[in-house]
Structure 1
Amino acid sequence: MGAVLLLSYVAGADRRAAAGMQTTPVLVATSAIPKGTAVAKVRDMAVLKSLPRTAVAAGTLSSLASVSGQVTTTDIQPGEQVFASNFADRKTLLAPGQVTVPNGMQQISVMLESERVLGGHLSAGSTVGVFISLKDKTQTGYTHLTLQKVLVTAVQGTAPTASPTTDGSPTPSAQPAYTGNVMVTLALMAPDAEKVVYAAEYGTIWLSLEPSSAKEGGTRIVAPGNVYK
């Protein structure tokens, strides 16, 4: 009986040893991967290694296909295994009020009176039409909806003090209406950024709320000769 038990134990030990020697592929960081790194860049910062199964933690990745388009949510140090939980959509990393700026665009801020910014009712993430008005040498004015569906990345201004409720606490507001001057930051390609800066320096700017469903056709340069046509 003792011999049978011994043989069973030895056989089990052999199986455990064999299992421990079996390997599985896993991605391992070859350099420090900062938080917020895109998957496309992580591909050059990690390598696929074959490690003993006993050394591989649950949830590791052998490919980045399942997290394509995402970014790292934490720093990953060299030598660390790469987990699926290390990745998420970039939007999850943004603080409230922050907006992702599309690649290739720059940000321009302009200071406008609140009536030129929808009465101060504007928030980051909205898209706007940019009306530019200029005067020629004869002081004749011209206005044109120069840019359309421009992304607003930030809005700063002075919000009015909320009126108190019956119990004395301020009335909550989903979106404050900024008063006075409002600083609006826009995401623009370089040629369009030039137009906005020129208008801010030598003319005037007016913004309209222009959602994706707004029609863009029918615009023209409006001047005294055609304003009533």
Structure 2
Amino acid sequence: MKSRLVAGAAALVAAILGVVLVIAYANGADARAQAGMKPTDVLVVTKPIPQGAPAAGIADSVQLKPLPASAVAPTALHSLDGMSGKVVSVAMQPGEQLLSDHLADPSTLTAPGSVAVPAGLQQVAFSISADRAVGGKLQAGDTVGVFLSFDHGAVPAGGPESTALVYHSVLVISVQGEPQSPDSSKPATGSITLTVAVNDAQATKIVFAAQWGTIWLSKEQPNLPQTPPNPIDRSKVYQ
């Protein structure tokens, strides 16, 4: 009799404990659900933002909006503080959350068919006929030698025609346009526009030559000897 009473009491305690655990779990689930529904303010895109847009200029294209905590991405931004100098890495549409992953250093972005500009250099572009650009067979990432030619020399007093290889290892950033060649067995014709990475002094001389002379390019191989400029004119061409 006593053993049956003990067993019954134990079963009653177990049943009560089970009910308590179920209630506790249910209460915990409710708390977790409520926490997940708690509104959190995050930046949401309100107007289309193009790739490359400066972070400092997109304040009018985003707005703080409350979203359920469970719907907020881990890298969602709550403000643009500390994002100065960065740009939008991917085009964004209204309704998207603005993530820290969407903002990047400008140097990390490159357009299709282009390479990044090395730090400390600037870009300059010029058009050139295919026959003066290795038959138009240059592409982004190539390094070129830059030749400058002038009909009356490049000295204040004028002089005979002259040409000089003035720069080695100039990095091609991009090539736009396709030279036309009706017959693959013949040289390509037409012109292309090249963008190269240079310093300010180099850019100035390239622009001057594009305006007042002509530019020719050679495709250089790695580790090519860096010879100094040695202008050639009529008096030296046969030497």
TM over 0.5: yes
Please tell me the residue identity of whatever aligns with 1:182. S
In structure 1, the gaps of 5 or more residues are: 64-68, 164-176
Deviations 1:174-209, CA, capped at 9 Å, x for gaps: xxx861232232235554344233323432221111
SS at match of 1:75: coil
CA change 1:18–1:213 in 2 (3 A) is farther
What corresponds to 2:49 in structure 1?
34
Q: Aligned-residue CA RMSD in angstroms?
A: 4.7
CA distance in 2, matches of 1:13, 1:37: 49
SS at match of 2:202: helix
Percent of paired sites with the same residue = 24
CA distance in 2, matches of 1:75, 1:221: 52
Does the CA contact (< 8 Å) of 1:160 and 1:178 recur in 2? no
Does the CA contact (< 8 Å) of 2:133 and 2:217 recur in 1? yes
Please tell me the residue identity of whatever aligns with 1:200. A
SS at match of 2:179: strand
Please tell me the residue identity of whatever aligns with 2:29. R
CA distance in 2, matches of 1:27, 1:178: 58
SS at match of 2:167: strand
Does the CA contact (< 8 Å) of 1:124 and 1:153 recur in 2? yes
CA distance in 2, matches of 1:26, 1:227: 73
SS at match of 1:180: coil
Shift of 1:133: 1.6
What corresponds to 1:21 in structure 2?
35
Please tell me the residue identity of whatever aligns with 1:110. S
What corresponds to 2:20 in structure 1?
7
CA distance in 2, matches of 1:127, 1:50: 51
Does the CA contact (< 8 Å) of 1:101 and 1:153 recur in 2? no
Deviations 1:43-76, CA, capped at 9 Å, x for gaps: x96899998653435xx3268xxxxx89532406
1:123 aligns with 2:135: no
What corresponds to 2:190 in structure 1?
181
Bigger RCO of structures 1 and 2 (CA < 8 A, at least 6 apart): 1
1:73 aligns with 2:83: no
Shift of 1:222: 3.0
Of 153, 174, 185, the match for 1:153: 174
CA distance in 2, matches of 1:141, 1:162: 33
1:210 aligns with 2:220: yes
Shift of 1:14: 2.0
Shift of 1:21: 2.5
CA distance in 2, matches of 1:161, 1:87: 46
Please tell me the residue identity of whatever aligns with 2:188. T
Question: Rg bigger for which structure?
Answer: 2
Shift of 1:117: 1.6
SS at match of 1:215: coil
Please tell me the residue identity of whatever aligns with 1:214. L
What corresponds to 1:108 in structure 2?
125
Does the CA contact (< 8 Å) of 1:106 and 1:190 recur in 2? no
Shift of 1:141: 2.4
SS at match of 1:151: strand
Shift of 1:78: 6.8
CA change 1:211–1:36 in 2 (3 A) is farther
What corresponds to 1:54 in structure 2?
70
Does the CA contact (< 8 Å) of 1:26 and 1:61 recur in 2? no
CA distance in 2, matches of 1:130, 1:191: 14
CA distance in 2, matches of 1:15, 1:101: 55
Richer in helix (by share): 2
